[in-house]
Amino acid sequence: DAKTTQPNSMESNEEEPVHLPCNHSTISGTDYIHWYRQLPSQGPEYVIHGLTSNVNNRMASLAIAEDRKSSTLILHRATLRDAAVYYCILRPLIQGAQKLVFGQGTRLTINP
């Protein structure tokens, strides 16, 4: 499985934007970039995913570098509820390769 690298932890203030980086220098052309987050004592929650173009949804935006070797999850206006561990995961598009393999993720702390 292609590997991702994320900072262990990040800290931000409430109502400010947060940029969570992810490096995936060994990404292949058919790998989708997925982001999940896990709030304390809960199962992971889908945030966003993309392949080449930047993506936006109600939760966040995903900015993908032109060479696809890195990406950034953007929370436009952080709230205390966004405090969680954020996981950047690569998942191949090919049939049958369905499983998500989690790395260590980034623990995001939001200060009031």
Partner 1 sequence: GAVVSQHPSWVICKSGTSVKIECRSLDFQATTMFWYRQFPKQSLMLMATSNEGSKATYEQGVEKDKFLINHASLTLSTLTVTSAHPEDSSFYICSARRTGYEQYFGPGTRLTVT
Question: Where does this chain bind partner 1 (CB under 8 A)?
Answer: 36, 38, 41-46, 49, 87, 98-105
Q: What share of the chain is helix, strand, coil (3-state, %, to 5)?
A: 5, 45, 50
Find tokens 């931000």 and name the residue: 12
Structure tokens at 109: 């702390």
Shortest spacing between CB 73 and partner 1, in angstroms:
16
Q: How far is the CB of 44 from partner 1 (least distance, A)?
A: 5
Nearer to partner 1, 42 or 53 (CB): 42
> Which residue, 40 or 112, is less far from partner 1 as judged by CB?
40
| Residue 44: alpha-carbon gap to chain centroid | 12
Nearer to partner 1, 14 or 32 (CB): 32
E strand or H helix at 55: strand 55-56
CB of 41 to partner 1, least distance (A): 7
